[in-house]
Amino acid sequence: MSTKSLAVGSSTLALTALLAAPAFAGPTYTSDNGGSFRWYGQLNLAYQGYDDGGEDYNRLVDNGNSGSRVGFWLEQPFGENTLKFRFETSLSLRASDGVNQNDQGDITDWTRSDLRHVDLQWHTPRYGTFSIGQGSMAADGATGIDLSGTGVAANTSVADAAGGYFLRDAGGNLTGIEIGDVFATFDGSRRGRVRYNSPDFAGFTVSASYGEDILTKDADTEQYDIALNYENEDLGDFTVAGALAVSWTDKGGADTRDTIASAAVLHEPTGLSLSAASGDRDTGGNYGYVKLGYTANLISVGATSFSVDYYDGSDLVSVNDSAKSFGVAAVQKFERQNLEAYVAYREYSYDDSSATNYQDGSAILAGARWKF
């Protein structure tokens, strides 16, 4: 049996087992004084196929678009205010953007940098939310506003499907340039930070944060950012959402400023949606991204969504370079099982001003995300 056949067979077997299993969510335990504990998580395993123009590679991976994780919430109300603590860690399974032609990676390799949230939050309806600890900076997610229903399989982070693979030149040699190098988003990050989120004002919220990379040894990285978010689900037949953020980073004396934004609109009667995103780094690099989606209730188990998207970037590795990606995706929800099964195909192309000609690459992801 070929490696590809084994990988596809294993993915199909895993999906069948998940569909047969009953859905369950992490239970919530409450105390007499109103406190609560709730745990949650997700598994998002997939078959990955990658063609670099010279050779094919087939692996079982964790989907880098939304990796497997587990966590819990502790909450305690104090009058109209609530104190919350969140812990969340990646399961650090072999990721779709962490393998390449020379290295298929360890099945799991947890390090402290896989801690996503160790976060204390004070929620107040009048004055907003105050947070301290490891968690999302204000700009985190500002490029990912998406109402298509296919975000688990295809989104602005087009490199997540195969970000670790090296580009191959026309002579068949691997270059030192990875897919992840040339398809950036400049999206916000998670840091050890202090953060403030304002109350909701007619759908608008403002947030700001200051943080440092406390999980990477000798990182010497400081960041601060500000973001404006908007969401309205009641604009007649439309749902609209958007985000705009500016992030400043000082990494060992090298300063950068990233300006990022995304927006999406969904026409609820037809299920048609349009998403767009862009990013610009003051020291070089910019991109634009657009996505058209369609969602319908074709079968009784849950919504079916389709999308097509396009990414166009320049100056991301060197002056006058060009990075383009085209993708299509389909996602089927299974509401009772809290499951989304998906398949996505993506093409990558890159050119620069050097004498090197780079071959196009293509990736396939087929898997399922199960939330519990």
At 15-53, the pLDDT tens digits run 554 455 445 556 788 888 999 999 999 999 999 999 999
Torsion of CA 54, 58, 61, 63, to 10 degrees: 60
Q: How far apart are CA 182 and CA 166, in angstroms?
A: 11
Q: Give which of 133, 121, 117 is closest to 85, Cα–Cα.
A: 121
Domain total in the chain: 1
Residue-wise pLDDT tens digits, 249-297:
999 888 999 999 999 999 999 999 999 999 999 999 999 999 999 999 9
pTM over 0.85: yes
* Percentage of residues of the chain with pLDDT beyond 70: 93
Residue-wise pLDDT tens digits, 217-233:
888 999 999 999 999 99
Is 66 a residue whose pLDDT tops 70? yes
Q: What is the mean pLDDT of the chain?
A: 93
- Which pairs from 246-250 meet CB under 8 Å and 24+ separation? 246/139, 247/137, 247/139, 247/186, 247/188, 247/223, 248/223, 248/224, 249/221, 249/222, 249/223, 250/221, 250/222, 250/223
Q: How far apart are CA 195 and CA 207, in angstroms?
A: 7
Q: How far apart are CA 170 and CA 97, in angstroms?
A: 23
Is 343 a residue whose pLDDT tops 50? yes
Domain of residue 65, residue span: 3-371
Confidence of residue 145 (pLDDT cuts 50, 70, 90): very high
Q: Of 117 and 24, which is predicted with more confidence? A: 117
Q: How far apart are CA 93 and CA 68, in angstroms?
A: 7
What is the model's pLDDT at position 218?
87
Helix (H) / strand (E) element for 172: namely none
Is 323 a residue whose pLDDT tops 90? yes
Residue-wise pLDDT tens digits, 77-104:
999 999 999 999 999 999 999 999 999 8
For the record, the structure tokens of 119 come out as 């976060």
CATH (domain of 109): 2.40.160.10
Is 306 a residue whose pLDDT tops 80? yes
What is the model's pLDDT at position 31?
86
What is the model's pLDDT at position 28?
86
